[in-house]
Amino acid sequence: MLTSEQIGFYMENGYLRIPQVFTPEEIQAMSRDLDQVIQDWAVHNEGWIGPWRQVYMRPEVEQRSKLIHLNDLHFYSETWCRAVLHPRLTEAMVDLLGPCVELHHTTLHCKPPETGMPFPMHQDSPFYQHEGPAYVDAILHIDSATEENGCLKFLPGSHKSGHLEHITENSSPHLPTDHYRLADAISCPADSGDVVAFSIYTVHGSEINRTDRWRRLVRVGYRDPRNKQIGGHGLGRPGLMVRGLRPIEFATS
């Protein structure tokens, strides 16, 4: 699925945009189910908490900022269950993780028009920490992501530092805003149907949605089943093997 140049870029920078993994017809079906799941099941709230909000948002914007989210979207929709098993997506994960690939979880992240909250710079490892780096977050783009509506932004090569300690007291996990700034990160715009893959250790964030349109993304976490989880969401829960066989020596008791 991926070229040697794409794999090399991922290994060096810790992220990669993979164009047009899903066809327009597939995205249309995924979008339709996503809208219904958002209406019926998703959580609508202020999103991540903490003093970092005052750094990234003016007071009047911070008060209105919203995030719509839901874990394990593939439990709610046949279309999304098929999406996480998509051959082009799982083949790309084999290229990055090896022959055995396990689905860990899915998470819906929607930024509503004009009030969709930003994300401070962070790694994903504090939310579901593993012993090693063999974990890829794949971001499925239902809507195109731009500078204006809050595309992902990365610090290239930051994954090489491994897991970093985050600020967690009275706050959602994030890195110090004076040392890890969104202004220093590289934007990664993506079109509808694209997938942006990144390491669990890559430092990233995103700006507020300043447009009058939705920005709907779904994060799908894949891992090498030999990479033991040691904390966070889904701890102790076996995932669906999307490629290969689960090694018997790493069976979940």
Amino acid at 155: L
What is the residue whose two structure tokens read 């899915």? 106
pLDDT of 253: 43
73: exposed, middle or buried (Cβ count in 10 Å: 0-12, 13-18, 19+): buried
Enter the tokens of residue 216: 């709907």
pLDDT of 251: 57
Query: Please, what CATH class does the domain formed by 4-225 belong to?
Result: mainly beta
Across the chain, which has 253 residues, the per-10-residue mean pLDDT values are: 97 98 98 95 85 81 82 95 98 98 95 86 96 98 96 98 94 93 96 98 95 95 97 93 89 50
pLDDT of 16: 98
Enter the tokens of residue 20: 């047009």
Cα separation of 67 and 215, whole Å? 11
DSSP string, 184-252: GSEEE-B-TT-EEEEETT--EEE----SSS-EEEEEEEEE-TTS-B-SSTTTT----EEES---GGG--
Cα separation of 217 and 141, whole Å? 5
Which of 3, 24, 14 minimizes the C-alpha distance to 192?
24
Other CB atoms within a 10 A radius of the CB of residue 148 amount to 14
pLDDT of 250: 59
Instruction: Kindly report, residue by residue over 91-109, the tens digit of the pLDDT.
Output: 999 999 999 999 999 999 8
Taking the alpha carbons at both ends of the chain, their separation in whole angstroms is 34
Which of 83, 94, 184 minimizes the C-alpha distance to 139?
83
252: exposed, middle or buried (Cβ count in 10 Å: 0-12, 13-18, 19+): exposed
pLDDT of 54: 82
